[in-house]
Structure 1
Amino acid sequence: MDDDIGSGGTAAVRLIRGTPLTEAVDTADPRAWTAFDVGVRQILRYGHALLPDGDRTAVLRSGTADAAAPRTEASPRQPATDRSGRLRRWATARFRRPAGSPGQDARARLALALCHPDGRVREAALDGTAEHPVLLPLLVIRTGDWATPVRERARRLLGERLDVEAAVALAPLILRVGRRERGAFGLELLDSVLRRAPRERLLPLHTHTGRTVRRFAFRLAIEEGLLSPGELARRAAWDDDAVVQGLCADAALAAMTDGDDWDEVLEPLLDARSPRARSAGVTALRRAGRPERAVEFLIDRSALVRACARYVVRRHGTDPLPWYRERCADPADPTVPPGAVIGLAECGERVDAELLWPLLAHPAPVVRARVVAGLRTLDATDVARLLPLLDDPAPGVVRETTAALLPFAGTLPSGLLTAHLSIERPRPVRVAAFRLLDARGGVVGLRAAVALLDDPDDKLRAWAGQSVQCWHPGADTPRGDAEVGELLNRARHLFSDYVLQRRKWEAGLSG
């Protein structure tokens, strides 16, 4: 798992030094617990330098751990063979101190013992979680332990103690541990407990900040029929996770019958911000017997929603192509919908490009950008007519123009593009020019990248450095070109001596 071992090790050191558990570990964060579990073992095995000076000296100089604490049956006397062994036995002895002993919080000692490298210590510490509910997260982690005795005992204890309230609180951690090789038990137990829970007890999981938790909770609610179609539709419209949107929208529509009130489901979906939810609502218009309403979504900002709207309109017997052509027929119309422009390209033919070219002069930047995107979709790119748009004041238009010209980068005038790299140009124009020169490659691309190595724009300078490091001579690069050698020498700081020599050798230059 992707745990932050560094923060977990820091928490372990703080506990060993006497910091209370609730101050050293963020008990509400499942990532903090899994990181703590790994960090304790790392510290007890390798982290001698992180211990307090007195403790470290006692451990490293003593032959056994008996000087630090009395021996117990669970920690018999054994000869110390290395520093790690002495440290583990010293720590084990500290964990066995009576609860009233000074210097360390009882919960902190128990937490360290539950993560101890020795499986016997972990197993013996499991029963202590009954007196300290705050340590239930570590009991959850131990249900996936690699040691069978520890794992089986932890599973039995968790099965006895996991009620609905604890299951809701521990759900994020159980789902996180459930991704491990031996984590299936926790998932099955969580599922069985929550299926018996009242509906209102599960509501906090529906608004949890973790996407994994919300996905699990909504799958459970859908299978148990805990939410009405209207509630599912509203969840699909509100949630920002695409998986949850799909789950709730599909479940809401599947639960509808011909006699139900479709407005309760359709309105939230059609008004949703996410394209996934809106597309589900548009597709359901046909089943609801309202295909005529899909027309207003033919100009939606999302390509997915426009495609669903065209499907519904066609099934209703209407061809959307004439509708799109009518909306784009007047280039002087200031109300031309941007969605109509790109929609025409998505379902039109190459001859429809003649309707789009006049719209390049439209006053709305979003319309001009969609025109360029539409021409690229129709494969009707005219380099000579699009090249002046690199100077368009709208960054969106410049980006779309660059995307349309990239396949023709090798034929573009290098002098014009190099001039666009000037610091006086707007940043979108400079980025577009470098993208095109970099795509061209060869000496032209290397020259442009080296010219930007001292640029005041941090991102552009870093991009130029990466371009130089990835440069290789192409088939059209003259072998032995002195300019290539000069450019590589100017970028010497980006290469090791060997790589620089290798690049020159590839270009036909001597070292």
Structure 2
Amino acid sequence: MLEDIGDGTAAATRLAGGAPLQGTLDVSDPGDWLTLDAGVREVAWYGPQFLPEWEASAPLPADLTQLGESRLALALCHRDGRIRQEAVRQSAQYPGLLPLVVIRCADWAGPVRECARQVLREALDVDTALDLAPLILRVGRRGRGGFGVEVLGQVLGRASHGQLVALFADPDRVVRRFAYRLAIEGRLLSPGELARAAARDEDTVVQDLCATAALTALGDQGAYEEVLPPLLCARSPRTRSAGVTGLRRTGQSEQAKSFLSDRSALVRACARYVVRQLGGDPVAWYRERCTAPDILELPPGAVIGLGECGNRVDAELLWPLLAHPVAGVRARAVAGLRALDCADAKQLRPLLDDPAAGVVRETAIALLPSAKELPADWLLERTGCEHPRHVRVGAFRLLDARGGIEALRAAVGLLEDPDAKLRTWAGQSVQRWRPSPDVRRGDAEVEELLDRSRHLFSDHVLRRRKREAGVGS
């Protein structure tokens, strides 16, 4: 694989010496062709040594194909437009050079571009288009690259389902999107196949495209048993949410209720919509789950779900869950209280020492509006190395939001923290620190803290910071 332009120039040099294309680059990799194209023009001395018979003042050779495939490949990438145009005209005898013709279809020189487009239009059939699709779509992202994509769509519009299968698994998501759009337009995939593709593919565009097409193809009286199970079991929240929305057509309110506690907020919102449309009450369902006798089996999604659609009265159901043995439930209880605007600083503060990082993270977020109400010394103590990393992070996040000398004190102290990310964050905090109105001008501690962090500033900036704080000479 040619990874950068240096590899492209090295490949060009080898081709100039007569090396075959197959051994010089991966002819199935679109990136190699593009790198070669750029690399040829980077070789400053290539004109006379690559193509010695082409002097600037001499006429072009009548038959470039006498040079062989490797040299003709170089001619297709030549910086002289006359040479590129003549090479395109004579490239038909070497089908292996068609990828370079594809690149020339977006050439900056009009005559070269038009000539290449004519050659591509004549050479492209379904099998060739399948091989060249990744490169054509890559070139299509360039200016003047739309022609190749248009021709590709016309040719592959005649392809069968079996022929497009290879493109469905292409590592380039742009290729997969293109192939699935063609398949959907041509109705080459059944609703079940589309649902399975939506559940399997990692690209969100393909997921939405296939899930929507699967449900649309079914109409109101379709065979949902083929479509809904793959969608509802998908890892992607977007795909699961499409499946949940599809449950409305089937009237399966009970199955929709099981997604009210999904780990994804998007899926939970869709489930609430479906349950309401079918006459159910999501809030009552959440309240029932949060007060059920088998509280140890409480799913975390049910807790945050109550916060998302309940009211402030429901905070009374969430407070007891802060002591739940499952960390996920505790974290969602904090998030639910924040969503209900009931995050009491005094009651949440002990959770900053929670052994679970997720709980401390949610607690710090909930306490940010109350950062100035928390005792600074208590927070500063928790930035010490004797505390777990997630506790140090949560405490510093609140101190940083608090501002003032307490923020500077905490940040400078963390410049020697064993965690590299926390050190970096602390350094950035010091660099952007400014004295707040409650910082006493001329405070000797401010000067001492700035001196301890002088390696983060230029001399000029450090002097300016000190002047702003009224310290130093």
TM-score bucket of the superposed structures, by smaller chain? over 0.9
Equivalent residue, structure 1, for 2:139: 177
Equivalent residue, structure 2, for 1:85: none
Residue identity in the other structure for 1:245 = Q
Task: Give runs of aligned pairs for residues 230-245 of structure 1, distance below 5 A.
Answer: 230-245=192-207
- The CA deviation at 1:403 is 1.2
1:194 maps onto 2:175 in alignment: no
Equivalent residue, structure 2, for 1:415: 377
**Structure 1 CA distance, aligned partners of 2:91 and 2:301?**
60
1:320-374, CA deviations, whole angstroms, 9 ceiling, x for partnerless residues? 1111111111587211121111111111001100000001111111111110111
1:196-237, CA deviations, whole angstroms, 9 ceiling, x for partnerless residues? 112211111111111111111111111111111111111111
Equivalent residue, structure 2, for 1:76: 57
**Structure 1 CA distance, aligned partners of 2:74 and 2:397?**
54
Task: Give runs of aligned pairs for residues 233-312 of structure 1, distance below 5 A.
Answer: 233-312=195-274
> Relative to structure 1, is the Cα distance of residues 330 and 294 closer, same or farther in structure 2, using a 3 angstrom cutoff?
closer
- The CA deviation at 1:431 is 1.5
Instruction: Give the match's secondary structure for 1:129.
Output: helix
Contact map agreement 2:450 2:462 (CA 8 A) in 1: yes
> Relative to structure 1, is the Cα distance of residues 37 and 501 closer, same or farther in structure 2, using a 3 angstrom cutoff?
farther
TM-score by length of 1: 0.86
- The CA deviation at 1:156 is 0.6
1:113 maps onto 2:75 in alignment: yes
**Structure 2 CA distance, aligned partners of 1:14 and 1:449?**
55
**Structure 1 CA distance, aligned partners of 2:310 and 2:400?**
33
**Structure 2 CA distance, aligned partners of 1:172 and 1:129?**
21
Superposition RMSD on alpha carbons, in Å?
2.5
> Relative to structure 1, is the Cα distance of residues 98 and 497 closer, same or farther in structure 2, using a 3 angstrom cutoff?
farther
- After TM superposition, the structure 1 stretch with the greater mean CA deviation from structure 2, 186-195 or 484-493, is 484-493
Residue identity in the other structure for 1:454 = E
Contact map agreement 1:143 1:152 (CA 8 A) in 2: yes
1:455 maps onto 2:455 in alignment: no
1:37 maps onto 2:37 in alignment: yes
Residue identity in the other structure for 2:22 = T
> Relative to structure 1, is the Cα distance of residues 389 and 69 closer, same or farther in structure 2, using a 3 angstrom cutoff?
closer
Equivalent residue, structure 2, for 1:313: 275
Instruction: Give the match's secondary structure for 1:473.
Output: coil
Instruction: Give the match's secondary structure for 1:421.
Output: coil
**Structure 2 CA distance, aligned partners of 1:311 and 1:160?**
53
Task: Give runs of aligned pairs for residues 32-431 of structure 1, distance below 5 A.
Answer: 32-44=32-44, 65=48, 71-72=53-54, 75-76=56-57, 98-99=66-67, 106-330=68-292, 333-431=295-393
- The CA deviation at 1:160 is 1.1
Contact map agreement 2:64 2:90 (CA 8 A) in 1: no
Equivalent residue, structure 2, for 1:28: 28
**Structure 1 CA distance, aligned partners of 2:11 and 2:469?**
54
Contact map agreement 1:144 1:180 (CA 8 A) in 2: yes
1:433 maps onto 2:414 in alignment: no
Residue identity in the other structure for 1:464 = A
Which consecutive residues of structure 2, in runs of 5 or more, have no partner in the other structure?
none
Residue identity in the other structure for 2:178 = F
How many corresponding residue pairs? 470
Residue identity in the other structure for 1:396 = G
Equivalent residue, structure 2, for 1:83: none
- After TM superposition, the structure 1 stretch with the greater mean CA deviation from structure 2, 107-116 or 282-291, is 107-116
**Structure 1 CA distance, aligned partners of 2:344 and 2:353?**
16
> Relative to structure 1, is the Cα distance of residues 330 and 507 closer, same or farther in structure 2, using a 3 angstrom cutoff?
same
Aligned with residue 477 of structure 1, among 429, 434, 439: 439
TM-score by length of 2: 0.93
**Structure 2 CA distance, aligned partners of 1:379 and 1:490?**
40
- After TM superposition, the structure 1 stretch with the greater mean CA deviation from structure 2, 407-416 or 17-26, is 17-26
Contact map agreement 1:449 1:468 (CA 8 A) in 2: yes
**Structure 2 CA distance, aligned partners of 1:427 and 1:357?**
26
Instruction: Give the match's secondary structure for 2:222.
Output: coil
**Structure 2 CA distance, aligned partners of 1:271 and 1:474?**
52
Equivalent residue, structure 2, for 1:56: none
- The CA deviation at 1:409 is 1.9
